[in-house]
Amino acid sequence: MSLVTCDLSISLDGFAAGTDQRLDAPFGDGVGDDGHDLHRWMFDTPEEHAAELGAITEAGAFIMGRNMFSPGRGAWDLDWTGWWGPNPPYHAPVFVLTHHERAPVEMEGGTTFHFVTDGPEAALARARAAAGEKNVAIAGGAATVNQYLAAGAIDELRLHVAPVIVGRGERLFAGLGHTPLRLISARCTPMVNHLTYGRA
């Protein structure tokens, strides 16, 4: 059965990004200086986390927030095609939640960015249709994940918890009320704890 999944790297104190998201951050990944620690496991020791890394991009369609697509940009920029270069790692349709209409942007390798202006529910319906038998992945950022969590729409929340306190930034679970979850799987390593949760 097709699932709605979500992979998110967070700090031990629950932040998915630092406060200083911008495109000229040291690693150019738009997650902010503080946030880089959260993604160290991907960049420094990918071979140790091959299964988890592979699972992140195996979905048949993706949904992301506008701020993940173009972090730190005040205005909508038609020249901007994401920070992943000409061949993004998705290789599938990516539905970007935004208030600004824009024609789809076809990238190399099978990734096409579609801009959805009628809300997260509509984006999920379009992503499900595009994914077919495959999963739909909520790619981030935290605000977008929180919207889908609040709606009870996420079947597998795959957290990658880095051993760092960040102290500020975009918080996963912000605004959510009491929600019991169920641990599906756990694999803990010095660099990161991979914890997958589902609905209780």
Nearer to its own copies, 114 or 194 (CB): 194
Determine the Cα–Cα distance for residues 2 and 129; give it in Å rounded to an integer: 11
Nearer to its own copies, 12 or 129 (CB): 12
Nearer to its own copies, 48 or 81 (CB): 48
Determine the Cα–Cα distance for residues 63 and 151; give it in Å rounded to an integer: 15
Instruction: Number of residues interacting with its own copies: please give it, by CB under 8 A.
Output: 30
Residue 181 binds its own copies, judged by CB under 8 A: yes
Q: What 3 state SS string does 84-100 have?
A: CCCCCCCCCEEEEECCC
Within 8 A by CB and 6+ apart from 33, the residues are 18, 20, 25, 26
Residue 167 binds its own copies, judged by CB under 8 A: yes
Q: Which of 37, 52, 156, 170 binds its own copies (CB under 8 A)?
A: 37
Q: Which of 12, 50, 122, 129 binds its own copies (CB under 8 A)?
A: 12
What single-letter amino acid sits at 49? Answer: H
Q: Which of 7, 8, 25, 34 binds its own copies (CB under 8 A)?
A: 34
What are the helix (H) ranges across 50-140?
A: 50-56, 66-69, 120-131
| Shortest spacing between CB 141 and its own copies, in angstroms | 16
Within 8 A by CB and 6+ apart from 83, the residues are 23, 28, 29, 30, 71
Q: With CB under 8 A as the contact rule, which of the stretches 24-32, 53-61, 126-134, 177-185 interacts with its own copies?
A: 177-185
- Binding mask 100-139 vs its own copies (x if CB under 8 A, - otherwise)? ----------------------------------------
Determine the Cα–Cα distance for residues 196 and 200; give it in Å rounded to an integer: 12
Site residues for its own copies per CB under 8 A: 12-14, 34, 37, 149, 163-167, 172-173, 175-183, 186, 188-190, 193, 195, 197, 200
